[in-house]
Structure 1
Amino acid sequence: MLALILAGGEGSRLRLGEKALVMVHEQPMISWVLDAFAAADCEPLVITSHKTPFTRNWCRANGIDFLDTAGTGYVEDLTEAVEMTDEEGPLFTSAADIPCLTEDIIRRIRAAHAEHGLPACSAWVPVSRCEAYGMQPRYCETVCGVAATPCAVNILTGGLIGVAQEEFCLLLDEPGLAFNINTREELAVLEREFYAVRGL
């Protein structure tokens, strides 16, 4: 399955340059995400923009497929990228700043999508799991009776991009999904907890 890794934003809140290339335990943040999708037998494709020229060059230097979009915004770039791929069936979408994503989590999301048969599947983590690490979720909904926040990894149907897609909301109480990195404080927590939450 194709996996679009969104890496076209400036990362202005983190203030460390292009966020996808911020180092996490001796690897750029995006490389952990790419490795997880590759291990789960997906085909990762990085989505860059004029705002992330170094990420584009990093992909080129490392033989990683990428597409350049207008850099208008996350949703707009995602829509543009899906249209550029001509993918009609299901595909993964993921942020580049979730370095604790693992092969197992990806396979569980794909299995849930297949089981429930809806056009889309979104992954959520309990807010309490995020707060336990001092992370501050910016959006919250109730999923399976639990206050939860989206994990920035989903499955969508390419042929339905641009319209609302009925989705199954999958609640995953996984420590690693608490880490969506937007600030230096969150990065510091990740550095401290990284090996524990990834089980390394």
Structure 2
Amino acid sequence: MIIVMAGGRSTRMGKEKPVLRVGGKPMLLRVYGEAEKAGETLVTLSRNTPKTKEWCLRERIPFVETPGRGYVEDVRWLLREFGPFVSVSSDLPFVRASDIGSIAKAFDGKTSLTGVLPLERVPGDLKPVVYRGYAVVGLNAVGAEGENFFELSNPLLALNVNTPKDLKLAERIAKLVGR
């Protein structure tokens, strides 16, 4: 199962990120569309995302509401409710079905896989979260037995839209890549 994480508070952005448009399309629809191509997909919402819930109802996108106490707590809740899953953040506007499929294929259902990019693959304008020499991206496989890194190749996964500045950059990139 693929789960699109769309229930966060969006504190740095100041508004619900999943409904913000990149390339004329809400990020939620961009991410969900790619995830759905890769397999059975469900969106997670919480009390923090009422507008996103409206979109899911309008577009008939399957969703579940999590407790909304924070990312880690919601992931643990999802693991208990659904078992192992692939997680993709709703603020990754340039994720592709092939990215999701590659981590899903490598996932053994037990050991979590944290999606990462080698730093040399990260475009210069982006300032990703760096851990152990890699850029950490919002595409993961969630299991219950340990964790490994999983190297991805799509450099645009380094753009996680968290701030208004990130959103402007995503808009520029969408125009350049025609997505």
Structure 1 counterpart of 2:103, from 109, 120, 133: 109
Work out whether residues 118 and 167 of structure 1, in 8 Å CA contact, stay in contact via their aligned partners in 2: no
Deviation at 1:153, TM superposition (A): 0.9
Work out whether residues 9 and 51 of structure 1, in 8 Å CA contact, stay in contact via their aligned partners in 2: yes
C-alpha separation in 2, matches of 1:129 and 1:190: 17
Give the match's secondary structure for 1:8. Answer: coil
Give the match's secondary structure for 2:93. Answer: coil
Question: Which residue number corresponds to residue 126 of structure 1?
Answer: 118
Work out whether residues 122 and 156 of structure 2, in 8 Å CA contact, stay in contact via their aligned partners in 1: no
2:129 partner letter: R
Question: Which residue number corresponds to residue 147 of structure 2?
Answer: 167
Give the match's secondary structure for 1:149. Answer: strand
1:20 partner letter: P
Report matched runs for 1:75-154 at 5 Å.
75-85=72-82, 87=83, 90-114=84-108, 119-130=111-122, 132=124, 134-141=125-132, 147-154=133-140
Q: Which has the larger radius of gyration?
A: 1
Find runs of 4+ consecutive structure 1 residues off by over 4 angstroms. none
Work out whether residues 117 and 151 of structure 2, in 8 Å CA contact, stay in contact via their aligned partners in 1: yes
**Per the alignment, do residues 26 and 136 of structure 1 end up closer, same or farther by CA in structure 2, a change over 3 Å counting?**
same
Deviation at 1:97, TM superposition (A): 0.3
C-alpha separation in 2, matches of 1:44 and 1:11: 22
C-alpha separation in 1, matches of 2:42 and 2:110: 23
Question: Which residue number corresponds to residue 4 of structure 1?
Answer: 3
Aligned-pair identity in percent equals 30
CA RMSD of aligned residues (A): 2.0
C-alpha separation in 2, matches of 1:156 and 1:75: 11
2:119 partner letter: V
Report matched runs for 1:26-41 at 5 Å.
26-40=24-38
Question: Which residue number corresponds to residue 24 of structure 1?
Answer: 22
Deviation at 1:44, TM superposition (A): 1.3
Work out whether residues 93 and 170 of structure 2, in 8 Å CA contact, stay in contact via their aligned partners in 1: no
| Residue 43 in structure 1 maps to residue 40 in structure 2 | yes
Deviation at 1:130, TM superposition (A): 3.4
Work out whether residues 67 and 81 of structure 1, in 8 Å CA contact, stay in contact via their aligned partners in 2: no
TM, length-normalised to structure 2: 0.89
Work out whether residues 100 and 177 of structure 1, in 8 Å CA contact, stay in contact via their aligned partners in 2: yes
Give the match's secondary structure for 1:173. Answer: coil
Cα deviation code 1:61-118 (max 9, x no counterpart): 1111111122110010121123233x3xx4101211001100111122123335xx86
Structure 1 counterpart of 2:163, from 142, 166, 183: 183
1:91 partner letter: F
C-alpha separation in 2, matches of 1:61 and 1:50: 18
